């Protein structure tokens, strides 16, 4: 699909979102002047609402349905922030060490969780400058869904899943750092302590390391991820353990 066709498709998808002042200002100031040309596509089968990803190194933003609401505007703008970081050359990419004892989809998922831990808070900080209110969405949608998930089960037995959930915990903590009223996060944190103590312990460590090191530019992120890779070990089974540095690397 050529650039002009991509832009026409993009405008058709986001047309209703431009009626929200915060989205219109963000789109004009952050997106239009960069002349980013990537595909936005509607995919009703997608589980979440929006996602930025790549297919054969070709970037795209997948959206579950035609975006219309203020929550939709926030989520689409959030994914656009990820595309902007990539376009500007500020996104950190991970690769698998070979040979690998882990499936491709497991490695992709872990890599995504690592990147999101620091990039999602940066995206939210950017969006708040334009009048978006992440706390409203997280309070009304994300936190209730997270509480429901915590109630469904405690810590999982496998280190791989515990560490992935700890990355998500740290991401939430870093996101709420930029939000003035953290009372809802405090409530969720209590649920984590009760339901998933192992996740909470590692998540708090990751949160502390991230704040201590900083993560607002690519060099700080590289330093941070190398610290994490060298600190943590994944127990693969009763006999074998793998350092994260032997599983993933920065490319």
The residues with which 42 forms a beta bridge, in sequence order, are: 63
Pick the last residue of a domain from 38, 59, 87: 87
Q: What is the pLDDT of residues 213-231, one digit of tens each?
A: 999 999 999 999 999 999 9
Domain identity same for 114 and 232: yes
Report the domain count for the chain: 2
In terms of Cβ atoms closer than 10 Å to its own Cβ (0-12, 13-18, 19+), residue 174 is buried
What 3-state DSSP class applies to 236? coil
- For the chain, the maximum distance between any two Cα atoms, rounded to a whole number of angstroms, is 58
Are 101 and 221 in a shared domain? Answer: yes
pLDDT at res. 157: 80
H/E stretch holding 174? helix 159-177
Q: Confirm if 155 and 202 have CB atoms less than 8 A apart.
A: no
Same domain flag for 111 and 136:
yes
Residues 109 and 224 in one domain: yes
Q: Please report the pLDDT score of residue 194 as a whole number.
A: 93
Q: Are residues 137 and 216 in the same domain?
A: yes
> What does the alpha-carbon distance between residue 90 and residue 175 come to, in Å, rounded to a whole number?
19
State the pLDDT at residue 183.
76
| Same domain, yes or no: 219 and 109 | yes
Whether residue 233 sits in one domain with residue 110: yes
On whether both 139 and 227 belong to a single domain, the answer is yes
Residues 38, 82 within the same domain: yes
Last residue of a domain, one of 70, 87, 104: 87
Buried b (16+ CB within 10 A) or exposed e, 107-146: beebbbbbbbbbbbbbbbbbbbebebebbebbbeeebeeb
Q: Are 133 and 184 in contact (CB under 8 A)?
A: no
- Compute φ and ψ for 36, nearest 5 degrees: -75, 130
- Would you write out the chain's pLDDT as a tens digit for each of its 251 residues? 667 888 899 999 999 999 999 999 999 999 998 988 899 999 999 988 999 999 888 899 999 999 999 999 999 999 999 999 999 999 999 999 877 888 999 999 999 999 999 999 999 999 999 999 998 888 888 888 888 888 887 778 889 999 999 999 999 999 998 776 667 888 899 999 999 999 999 999 999 999 999 999 999 999 999 999 999 999 887 788 899 999 999 99
- Tell me, what's the pLDDT at 91? 95
Residues 38 and 115 in one domain: no
Q: Which residue has the tokens 């035609």?
A: 66
Residues 110 and 195 grouped into a single domain:
yes
Among 87, 122, 148, give the residue marking a domain's end: 87
Q: What is the pLDDT of residue 57?
A: 85
Asked if 21 and 27 touch (Cβ cutoff 8 Å), the reply is no
Expressed as residue numbers, the domain containing 19 is: 3-87
Instruction: Say whether both 139 and 65 belong to one domain.
Output: no
pLDDT for 87-141, tens place per residue?
999 999 999 987 788 899 999 999 999 999 999 999 999 999 999 999 888 888 8
DSSP line for 187-207: HHHHHHHHH-HHHHHHHHHHH
């Amino acid at each position: 699909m050529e650039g002009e066709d991509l832009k026409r498709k993009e405008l058709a998808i986001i047309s209703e979102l431009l009626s929200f002042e915060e989205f219109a200002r963000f789109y004009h100031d952050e997106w239009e002047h960069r002349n980013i040309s990537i595909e936005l596509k509607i995919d009703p089968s997608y589980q979440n609402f929006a996602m930025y990803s790549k297919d054969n190194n070709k970037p795209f933003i997948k959206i579950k349905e035609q975006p219309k609401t203020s929550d939709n505007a926030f989520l689409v703008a959030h994914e656009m922030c990820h595309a902007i970081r990539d376009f500007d050359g500020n996104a950190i990419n991970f690769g698998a060490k070979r040979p690998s004892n882990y499936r491709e989809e497991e490695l992709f998922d872990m890599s995504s969780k690592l990147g999101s831990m620091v990039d999602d808070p940066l995206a939210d900080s950017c969006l708040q400058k334009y009048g978006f209110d992440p706390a409203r969405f997280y309070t009304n949608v994300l936190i209730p869904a997270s509480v429901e998930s915590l109630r469904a089960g405690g810590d999982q037995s496998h280190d791989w899943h515990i560490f992935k959930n700890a990355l998500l915990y740290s991401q939430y903590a870093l996101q709420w750092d930029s939000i003035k009223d953290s009372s809802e996060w405090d409530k969720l944190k209590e649920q984590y302590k009760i339901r998933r103590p192992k996740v909470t312990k590692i998540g708090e460590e990751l949160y502390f390391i991230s704040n201590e090191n900083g993560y607002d530019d690519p060099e700080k992120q590289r330093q941070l991820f190398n610290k994490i890779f060298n600190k943590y070990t994944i127990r693969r089974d009763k006999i074998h353990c793998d350092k994260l540095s032997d599983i993933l690397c920065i490319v």
